[in-house]
Structures are given as structure tokens and as C-alpha cells.
Amino acid sequence: MKILVLGGTNFFGKKAVQLLLDHGHQVTIATRGNKKNPFVGRTSHILLDVEQEDHSGWKEVQAQRWDAVFNNICYTREEAERMLEVLRGLTDRVYFTSSMAVYGDQIGGFHEEDFDPMTYIIDPTIEITYGEGKRQVESVLFKQNDFKVTAFRFPIVLDDDDYTQRLHHYIDKALKNEVIEVYNLDAHVNYIKGTMAADFIVWAIENAIEGILNISSNQSVPFSQIISWLEEAVGHQLQVVVKDEIDYAPLSTRHDQYVVPDKAENLGFQINPLAEWMPDLMKRLTKERSR
């Protein structure tokens, strides 16, 4: 297939491009060029700033027809509307990265029907948070009829090469035997591994999957289990304090917040439980950060 990827040089987007290439697809990436193309000689590369309506890269996008488009960098209604206008008549399928954040601060676990973009009314006066931006993107794209749309609602994505280093933050504190502050040890959470996110993106594209899909590990655990795995990784008991106000707690939540990936599993995608990869990831990061 001839596939356009908006983004694709960072984290799980980069993993998805690598996998598409490994599967023999013809891939073009479109990026601002801030990062070097890691696939030189294997992909075409369009220089494009998606925030600029009149950027010259859009003409290059419009010069071709695409079997599928994967947008990993769509965060606002304006960007979704621009993509809709540019891609009209040029593709039949658009896939994009959404987020668990569309469910807001409700108590999870979340099923896909807990947020319906078809009935969502965009309020132009509302503050645009990350979650609100993704809600508006979904609303714009699912209400159009020019191409079929697939949204990937991921929770927090973790892996060895997570550039945000959210899990690394806890590893470093544990290694220094510093106090780890959490909101709620009983709150259930789940995450997805970066490689699994890439696997799912490619699987969905190759199988022409359509609609809204939660995708995460199929096992939610209380945050106390995350702490137990962390203690096992670093080899000693941790100092953990439960607080209402914390300066930085990138993985901890105040209440249950996780997505239920039953729909993806029922469609045939194989999902690994959190316990199959999280403890090993912690051990690898502990070894790396201990050097």
C-alpha cells in the first residue's frame, strides 16, 4: 500500500513507520524537519508544518493519491479541518492517534461509547486542553463523509525510548531512595507499550479496520501493583506517600482511569497483559539508569 504518515520520526510513530516498511509498504512521511529522517533511502519525505494553512508541503501531499493516511500529530479542530480539506478525494481511509483523554476526568474503565464524537457539540469558547483538542478532532473527522476514519484511543504509552521519560521519573526516584508521591494507591490504571501501539496501528491499516478503538494492555491494576513491580526492579522497599497535591506525578491518578480494549480483542488483535511487559521494562530501565 501507498501510505502517508504525518509525523513518524518519534517514539511509537517511528516504530509504526519501521513496521510498515518491514511489511513492504510504500511510505511517505510528512514532518517539519526538526528531526532527521531516520528512514533516509527507505521513505519519501515531505517537509510540512501542519499548523500552517498555506505551507508548501500541502501541495506535495495533494499531488498524489494515498491508499491510507495515518496522522500521529493532529491535536486541534483547525488541524483536523485542514487535513479534511487537503485530503478530500485523495484517500479513502484516514487513521489517527486520539487519546484516553477524550473521556475527561470521569472514573474509568472506559468503553468506546463513553464518548461519542457524533453527538459532541464543539464550544469555540472553551479552553483547549489536550483532551478537549482530541475531542474536537474526533468530532470534526467522524462527522465528515469524504473518507472512512479510525481513531486509536491510547492511554499513556510507555517504552524504553519514551522521550517524555514518565516511567524513568519513578525509576530515578526509586534508585535514589527518594520519596515517591502518589494520589491513590488503589486507583486502577493501565498503559500500552510503544511497540504494541505500533503493532496495532499497522494491523488496523492492513486490515482496513474502521471506527473508534480503545487499545491498551488488557489488564488494569491498582497503582500499588506498579509500586510493587518497581520495588522488585530496584531491589528494595520504596518510600511512598499518598498526597492530594503533587508537583509531578505522571502515572498516578486520583481514581480509576483506564480504557477497556475488548473491542480490539474481539476484532482479532492479540493484546498482552500489563504483567507481561511492565516488570521487564522496569528492570531494563533500572539497569540502564544505574550505570
Q: Per-residue pLDDT tens for 22-78?
A: 999 999 999 999 988 999 999 999 999 999 999 999 999 999 999 999 999 999 999
**Residue 101, exposed/middle/buried by CB under 10 A (0-12, 13-18, 19+)?**
buried
Please determine, for residue 97, whether its predicted confidence score (pLDDT) is greater than 90. Answer: yes
Q: How many CB atoms lie within 10 A of CB 268?
A: 9
With both helix axes pointing from N to C terminus, report the angle between 166-175 and 278-290 in degrees, rounded to the nearest 10: 60
Interval 242-267: pLDDT, tens: 999 999 999 999 999 999 999 999 99
Interval 156-210: pLDDT, tens: 999 999 999 999 999 999 999 999 999 999 999 999 999 999 999 999 999 999 9
Give dist(CA 112, CA 260) in Å, integer: 8
Cell of 94: 484516514
Eight-state DSSP code of residue 237: -
Asked whether 174 and 114 are in contact (CB, 8 A), the reply is no
pLDDT at 142: 98
Q: How many CB atoms lie within 10 A of CB 44?
A: 15
pLDDT grade for 289, boundaries at 50, 70 and 90: very high
Q: Distance from first CA to last CA of the chain, Å, rounded?
A: 43
Please determine, for residue 108, whether its predicted confidence score (pLDDT) is greater than 90. Answer: no
Cell of 34: 526538526
Asked whether 57 and 49 are in contact (CB, 8 A), the reply is yes
Cell of 62: 495533494
Lowest mean pLDDT among 50-54, 67-71, 98-102, 284-288: 50-54
Asked whether 58 and 48 are in contact (CB, 8 A), the reply is yes
Interval 109-155: pLDDT, tens: 999 999 999 999 999 899 999 999 999 999 999 999 999 999 999 99
Eight-state DSSP code of residue 121: P
pLDDT at 211: 98
Contacts of 284 (CB under 8 A, 6+ apart): 160
pLDDT at 85: 95
Please determine, for residue 277, whether its predicted confidence score (pLDDT) is greater than 90. Answer: yes
pTM of the predicted model as reported, rounded to 2 decimal places:
0.96
Give dist(CA 254, CA 21) in Å, integer: 40
Domains of the chain: 2-155+193-214 (3.40.50.720), 158-191+217-290 (3.90.25.10)
pLDDT grade for 17, boundaries at 50, 70 and 90: very high
